[in-house]
Structure formats: structure tokens, C-alpha cells
Structure 1
């Protein structure tokens, strides 16, 4: 057998003013055919899983391009089409193939394309024909569309939020695709639209309990795989929302029933599906009163992983109100301030304005006399099995408050963001991070507690208040649950 693998991924925030171009992919992660590193990135884990199976002799592997752009606004038409066509040309050259594997995100939008993944998968299907197996790994914060479903044989999404399982899920994708290509199973996808926008964390109840139920249902020998698609509220498109995929071995009726069981659980999650999020002043008060250190404050709505700048200053200002308390904030995106610090040099004392360059939604800039305590040409931080570059970075100190400034817009995945800049977390009472959830895997084992903070900011955090133009109605919470029953798709 022969398999082809490629990856094209980003998460498009329709309300973000930050442009995504082809260069955005090259700046974040781009690997030409055969050049993918030995470690996976969030959306390219199928490369590593496929290499492992090829090494075992399961198939001959042809690698295409892998490209990822940091989440921002929709991709330019030229950016998307050029990368799409590059991959499709590679697929055409690899023909004939038995298996096509994609690492996707699922929430990519571009000028003229509301559903980039459906477009890519549909074009791939036309190249390979009906008999080849097409499978893709998705981020659960995606938009699952009918075009994606109809063009694919196997769609699997990460189960965990934060996404600690993207490598394991890639291995499961490849395994299902191989079994299908060998005729061992006949995958049938049953998809239920829950008609709600209900993203949740699997580190907290009730999301953890829902995931446990999903795993228990997968013990049924007829059930091949189950994915819960949370949806991405900041994408203004027809298919925003939470959905369930159940893959059975040629038993779609059972798939429908299992999907309905999970869908009912999703609809019952309620407001406690996300942790409590106090405002900045209250969050800092709680952190200072909490025993032990460090206490992590998660600036959930200024997370670059959601397509926003990551430069809001609300928590910086709040901590400066307690400037005698050892604390830290990072990484805050401000290339201009980083450059000024680099020009001044380590050890310099200078007046610096930083943060909130994106407008009023990010707060007001900080104007202070600061000490430059550390500089780094390229701050590289771990993320699960992968590594991520935050670019040239600077650490500055204002009283007892340390701030890590970065030149690349990347969320704070790991304590290394601080430790590598000479800021020991064990010596800080409060540490504020720019991340919605991914920080938890690495920070939870080394902190005294975590408080998620509602700083407002540019990310559209409440779906009920988002001014959608394209979303399909009715849907909860925009509409009453009684008017928005769950719907089976592609039947």
C-alpha cells in the first residue's frame, strides 16, 4: 500500500484584525516534503504516526508539505490557495495512493472560503477517487462541515482540552485508516449537530465526566472511535457549534444512538462547563490570599492561540498595584518594546512604554521606568512533544514585578518562558500567563493553584453576545433550547 500525508492548519478568528498571509505560515511552521522534524507540532502529528507505521512496513509513505500559522484573522486568498494547490499537486504526483492522511485544524477560513478544510478534502477526493481512504486529524475547536464529512472516511479530533493527546490521536487516526484500507473494518461516520456552542475543559468537571463516558462507550466492539467537536465561537460561519462524531464498523444506527447519548450530555453541561473567572482585581486578591506559591492567573481571553494579540495589560496594571509582591507576567507580545530593550542591553535602566498596542480592548499601555534583566535571541518553549519559538525576547522588572516580552505572538505553554529568562517561578507569589488552557499541562504540577481570569479583551468570549452574520440558527445560547433540537447530519 501507499499513503500520502500532509498538513495545512490554522485557526481563523473572524473578529481579529491580524492578517494571515502565506508568510504567516513560514514564520510559524513550514516544512517542505521530507523536511518535517522528528517531533510533531499540534496539527502535524499524522506525519510522525505515519512514519512509524511506514517503518513497520505497513505502507510506502509519501510526505507532502506541512504548514501552520499562528491563529489570527482569515487567511488571504493567495495564501490559502497557494498552499492548498502545493499540497494537491504533491498528492497528484504521488498517485496512485491507498490512504491520504491530513493534519488539519478545522477552523481555517480564507477570503472567498468559509470552509477551507472542506474545500481541501473535497479536491483531494476528486484526485484519489472513491476507493482510497481519506482521514484527517482535527482540533476539537473546529467547524465540522458537511463538505468535510462527505469527502472523508475517517475524522478524529483531539479528546483532551488542553490538547495533551494530539500525538496519541494521530496514531489512532493512522491505525483506523490502515485497518479500513486493508478491509478489516468499514468505517461509518455518524454525526450529530448538538445545536449549541459549548466548548469545555476536560480538566474540569463536568467535561472530565463527559470524556470518561466517551471512553467507556468506545469499549463497545462496534464503536471504532468517538470525537466531540467543541466548536470555535470566534469563527463566524454556517457551521459554528458543538457536534459529535461516532465512527462504527458498518453500524450507522448504533452510531446515531451513541451520538444522541453523548449529545444529550453535551446539552446538559450548563454554565459550569467552564471554571469561574473573576475580574482582574478580584483574581489578584484571591491569589494573594491563597497559601503557597506560585499562584497562576490565566488571562484566558487574551490568548494568542485564539487569534488575538496577547498584549493586553489589565493584569500588569493590577499587579503593579502590589509592586512589592514578587510576581511575573508573560509572554506579552510587543516586538517594538523587545527591540528597544535589545538596543539598551541587559542591565539597562530605561523608560519604556509596552503593551496594549492593539487598541482599547487590550487596556492602556504601561509607561514605567524598567530594568532590563535578561535578553534572548530566540526563546524556545516546550509544548507537549513539540517546541515553539517565541522569537527574540526580553525580561524587564518593575519593582518586584517581572514581565517577559516576546517578538512572536505565541501563547505561554510552559514555565520555561519564565525560567529561561532568569525568573524562578518558585520565588514568585503570582504568575500571570497568556493562555486559555494549554498552560495547565506544564504549570499545574509546579503551582499552588490556578485562577482563570476574565480580563475582557479583544477575544469574543461570550457566544450569546457575538454579532454573528453567517451562523445557522436556531442555536443555543443565541436561541432557546426548545427551538434548537439536535440534528443528524449528512443522512
Structure 2
């Protein structure tokens, strides 16, 4: 059996001013059929895993493009079309194939394309014909669309946020594609539109329990897979929003019944599952029992959601209040890094930090700092892979305020973003991370308390007030009862 595999992903914040261009993909890496070999612990980690899975079964692998970019605005049209067309050209050269398995995001939009994943899947279907199974693995912050559903045989989304189950879902999808290609199953899908916008962490109840109920439903006879696409709230596209879908073995009625049941259960949890952010001063004023630092998530300035990663709202308040023994990062500021690298380790200088990218970044903060370390080509653990931070600098200001500056815009995933640069964490009163939730996997075990802090950043957590133009305004929490009286 011959499998064609590829990985193309970015999450589009349609409200972000900066487009996603070639530089955003090149920063992570663009690999032309060799990512699984050249970057097996980095960008190519999933394709390396998938290749091993397929070849262990004695099957053949044709590996195509692998690239991803940090979330930002819409991808430049020519960039998306070039990446898409490379995958299509590779597939055309590989034909005939027995199955196609892709790791995509599900919330990628480009100039002229509201649904890049659906567009790609439809073009693949046109190439391989109706009988070759196509499988898509999506980030749970995807927009599940009708074009995706029509074009693919099986679509599976991550269940966990943080996304710690990428490989697990890839294995699930691979097994379903093998069974489909062999004629042992015939996948059919039913979708429940939850008509909700929000951000829901699976690290706490009741979302933990809901994930377990989805997994339990997958053990019911005839049910092949259950996914909940949370949607990406900052993606204004026509089919945005949370959707739950069920894949059954040639039983549309079963798929519909299970999707409706679980969709209604998820809807019933809506008032209890949202994040509860607090203000900066409330976080700094609190008395939190336990060992280790209090971890503050700067949720509105998460580069993983399209923000710049250089906002100064929390940093400024720490300075104004004279709070010390703090680690903060990774703050994106290539200019400050250039100055510090020129000055060298041990230098003391006046440094203007952050606040470079517009109103959502706040005003720059001027500090007297010591350059404590310069780390070239730094990286961090990131949910089982390595994520590049570029050249990084650790600077220390008064009162033991330790700031990690990064030259590549990315969210803080791993504790080694700090410790790899020499910044200790256990002795800090606060650790401030530029992330919304993916930090949780590594930082929660170190923390006395994890707090989600609201700032005037680029990501608006008032979901009822996001100024959508393309998606329907008929969603909760903007509308109390978007389903009417029928749910």
C-alpha cells in the first residue's frame, strides 16, 4: 500500500495586520519531501512519526511538502498557491497511490481563500479520483467546512488543548485509512454545528470529562471516530465556529444520533467551560499557597494566536510596582537583541524593550539592564517537538526582573526556553509566559498556581464583541439561543 503524506499548517488571525508570507514559513523551515529525515525532532517530527508507522507495516511512503508558520494575518495568495501546488505536483508524480494522509491546521485562510484546507483537499480529490481514501488531521482550533467534508473520507481533530495528542490522532487516522483502503470500513460523517465561539481548555473539568465522553463514544459499536473542532475565534471566515462530528462505519443514522447527543452535551456546558481571565493587579495582589512560582499567562499577547508577542502591559506593571524575582518571556524584540549582542555579555545599558508593533503592544519600557546571556539558535520543547526561538538574550533589570528576548516570534511552550538560557524558575515569585494554553503542559507542574491574565492585547477574549464581517452573528455568547428552542 502506497501512502502519500504532507504537512502544511498555519492558523490565520484575520484581524492581524501583518500577512503571512514566505518569511513566516522559512523561519520554521520549508522542506521538500525530506522533513522526516532532516528535522525529525523539529518541523518534521510528525512526518517522521507517521513514516515510521507506515513503514513498520511494510507500506510505502511518498513524502511531500512540510512547512508551517506562526499564526498571523491571511497568507499571501501567491505563497499559499505555491505551497499547495507543490503538494499537488508531488502527488501527480506519485500516482497511483492507495491513500493520502495530511496534517493540516483547519483554520488557514489566504487572500482569495477562506478555506485553504478545503481547497487543497478538493484538488487532491480531483487528482486521485473517488476511490482513494483521503484523511485530514486537524488542529482542534479548526473551522470544519462542507468542502473539507465533501473532499475527504475521514477527518480527525486533536482532542487535547494543549495539543499533546498529535501522534495519537495521526495513528488513529492512519488505521482508519488502512481499513478504508482495504474495504473493511466505509466512513460516513455527521456534523453538529454548536454555534459557539470561545476558548476551552481540556486541562480542567468539565472539559476533561467531555473529552472522556467522546472517547467512550468511540468505543460504541459502529462508531469510528469522534472530534470536536473548537474553532478559532479570531478567524473571520463564513464557516467558523465550534463543530462536533462523528464518523461511523456506513451508518449515517448512528453518526447523526451520536453527533446530536454529544453536541447537545457540549452546548449544555457552555457557561462552565470558558477561561476565567483576571486583571494584572488582581494576579499580582493574590496570596497563593504552595511551592514554586505563580505562572501568569499573558493570554492576549500569544504569538500562537496571531499576536505580536511584544506587549508590555504586564512588564510595565511589574516595574511600576517594584515586584522582583520575576522571569518574563519570550518577548519578541529583534532590535533589542541586536543592541545586546553588540554590547556583549556583562554589559550594562539602557534598553528600550517591547511595544514595537502598535497599540496592542503597549508602549515600550525603558530599563537599565545587564546582559546576562546570549544564546544563538535557541530552541524550546514544544509538545513533543523542538520549536525555534532564534537568537535569544537574557537581560536582568532591577529587583531581579529577568527578561528573555527572542528573535523569532513564537509562544512560550517549554520551561527550557528560560532554563536553556540560564534563567532559573523555581526561585521566582512569578513567571510570565507569552502563551494562552500550550505552556500548561510544562509549566503547570512547576507552578504554585497558574493564572490567565487579561491585558489589552491583540486577542480579544470578549467573544460576543469580536467584529466579524464574514461569519454569521448567530452564535453564543453573542446570541443567547442560536439553536432556537430545539436543543
Q: TM-score range by the shorter chain?
A: over 0.9
CA distance in structure 2 between the aligned counterparts of 1:198 and 1:145, rounded to whole angstroms: 18
Q: From the superposition, tell whether residues 474 and 324 of structure 1 become closer, same or farther in structure 2 (CA, over 3 Å).
A: closer
Deviations 1:9-38 (A, max 9, x none): 100000111221123212113221133346
CA distance in structure 2 between the aligned counterparts of 1:9 and 1:44, rounded to whole angstroms: 14
Greater displacement, 226-235 / 443-452: 443-452
In the alignment, structure 1 residue 228 sits paired with structure 2 residue 228: yes
CA distance in structure 2 between the aligned counterparts of 1:219 and 1:454, rounded to whole angstroms: 39
1:383 corresponds to: 382
CA distance in structure 1 between the aligned counterparts of 2:410 and 2:485, rounded to whole angstroms: 38
CA distance in structure 1 between the aligned counterparts of 2:432 and 2:339, rounded to whole angstroms: 23
Deviations 1:70-127 (A, max 9, x none): 1100000110000000110000000011101111000000011111111000000000
In the alignment, structure 1 residue 17 sits paired with structure 2 residue 17: yes
Q: CA deviation at 1:483?
A: 5.2
CA distance in structure 2 between the aligned counterparts of 1:457 and 1:384, rounded to whole angstroms: 25
8 A Cα contact 1:309 1:333, kept in partner: yes
Q: For 1:424-463, list aligned pairs within 5 A.
A: 424-463=424-463
Q: For 1:458-477, list aligned pairs within 5 A.
A: 458-477=458-477
In the alignment, structure 1 residue 26 sits paired with structure 2 residue 32: no
CA distance in structure 1 between the aligned counterparts of 2:46 and 2:81, rounded to whole angstroms: 23
2:40 corresponds to: 39
Q: CA deviation at 1:484?
A: 5.2
1:360 corresponds to: 359
> Aligned with 1:169: secondary structure?
helix
1:339 corresponds to: 338
2:52 corresponds to: 51
8 A Cα contact 2:29 2:43, kept in partner: no
Q: CA deviation at 1:456?
A: 2.6
1:218 corresponds to: 218
Greater displacement, 30-39 / 153-162: 30-39
8 A Cα contact 2:227 2:245, kept in partner: yes
Greater displacement, 471-480 / 453-462: 471-480
In the alignment, structure 1 residue 165 sits paired with structure 2 residue 165: yes
8 A Cα contact 1:326 1:401, kept in partner: yes
Q: From the superposition, tell whether residues 179 and 42 of structure 1 become closer, same or farther in structure 2 (CA, over 3 Å).
A: farther
Q: CA deviation at 1:214?
A: 0.8
Q: CA deviation at 1:43?
A: 9.0
Q: CA deviation at 1:448?
A: 1.3
CA distance in structure 2 between the aligned counterparts of 1:107 and 1:426, rounded to whole angstroms: 37
Q: CA deviation at 1:289?
A: 4.5
1:310 corresponds to: 309
> Aligned with 2:53: secondary structure?
helix
Q: CA deviation at 1:486?
A: 8.1
CA distance in structure 1 between the aligned counterparts of 2:208 and 2:221, rounded to whole angstroms: 23
Deviations 1:136-190 (A, max 9, x none): 1000101111000000001000000110111111111111111111111111111
2:411 corresponds to: 411
CA distance in structure 1 between the aligned counterparts of 2:303 and 2:101, rounded to whole angstroms: 28
1:279 corresponds to: 279
CA distance in structure 2 between the aligned counterparts of 1:130 and 1:248, rounded to whole angstroms: 19
CA distance in structure 2 between the aligned counterparts of 1:14 and 1:450, rounded to whole angstroms: 29
> Aligned with 1:219: secondary structure?
coil
Q: CA deviation at 1:364?
A: 1.5
Q: CA deviation at 1:359?
A: 1.6
Q: CA deviation at 1:362?
A: 1.8
Q: From the superposition, tell whether residues 384 and 431 of structure 1 become closer, same or farther in structure 2 (CA, over 3 Å).
A: same
CA distance in structure 1 between the aligned counterparts of 2:485 and 2:466, rounded to whole angstroms: 21
CA distance in structure 1 between the aligned counterparts of 2:415 and 2:124, rounded to whole angstroms: 41
8 A Cα contact 1:474 1:484, kept in partner: no
Gaps (5+ residues) in structure 2?
none
1:60 corresponds to: 60
2:294 corresponds to: 295
8 A Cα contact 1:192 1:486, kept in partner: no
1:323 corresponds to: 322
Greater displacement, 68-77 / 20-29: 20-29
Gaps (5+ residues) in structure 1?
none
8 A Cα contact 2:232 2:240, kept in partner: yes
Q: CA deviation at 1:48?
A: 2.1
> Aligned with 2:390: secondary structure?
coil
Q: From the superposition, tell whether residues 338 and 425 of structure 1 become closer, same or farther in structure 2 (CA, over 3 Å).
A: same
How many equivalent pairs are there? 485
